[in-house]
A = this chain, B = another copy of it.
């Protein structure tokens, strides 16, 4: 072996993200990851705690990045326009980083404190966008659930080729969100 490369946790995580995005989260194994990094599998344990830990890191990073994408997308926008842009950004994220998105979505342990915190960050972001609607706290929380259900459901179905008709997908998403928002206006 040549000189050691001095991997760190972030490099390992990035390589794992690449693998997950390219081959799917199911195919992400420590063996494959070690091969990609040209080290032996047990050496990974210097940087991660194990496979479950790695998956958790992917989930957390995914949640952070998807929120970041939504924050970026709503700059200069408000109300319906902002919600539409946030929804599109969410789905676009799932398209561009499918493995990371799977990591968010195939998550078993949502009870983990770290993930709870990041998840709460997404919710409070959405609540801030909803502020101008003047909803009660309870109403707003129902809307947040609705919004998350729509975009997650759409992204998830699209990801698994659940939409098989030759129908424009962006248009489907736009209509879904707009129809919902229209319904919200006319209460």
Chain A positions 147 through 187: 1 when the CB is less than 8 Å from some CB of chain B, otherwise 0: 01111111011001111110100011001101111111011
A105 close to B (CB within 8 Å) = yes
Note all chain B residues with C-beta closer than 8 A to A138.
167
Number of copies: 2
A-side binding surface: helix, strand, loop or mixed?
helix
Q: Are B156 and A156 in contact (CB under 8 A)?
A: yes
> How near does chain B come to A46, taking the closest CB pair, in angstroms?
27
Q: Are B182 and A24 in contact (CB under 8 A)?
A: no
Report, as a range, how many residues of chain A touch the other chain: 35 or more
> How near does chain B come to A88, taking the closest CB pair, in angstroms?
14
A108 close to B (CB within 8 Å) = yes
Note all chain B residues with C-beta closer than 8 A to A145.
154, 157, 163, 167, 172, 176
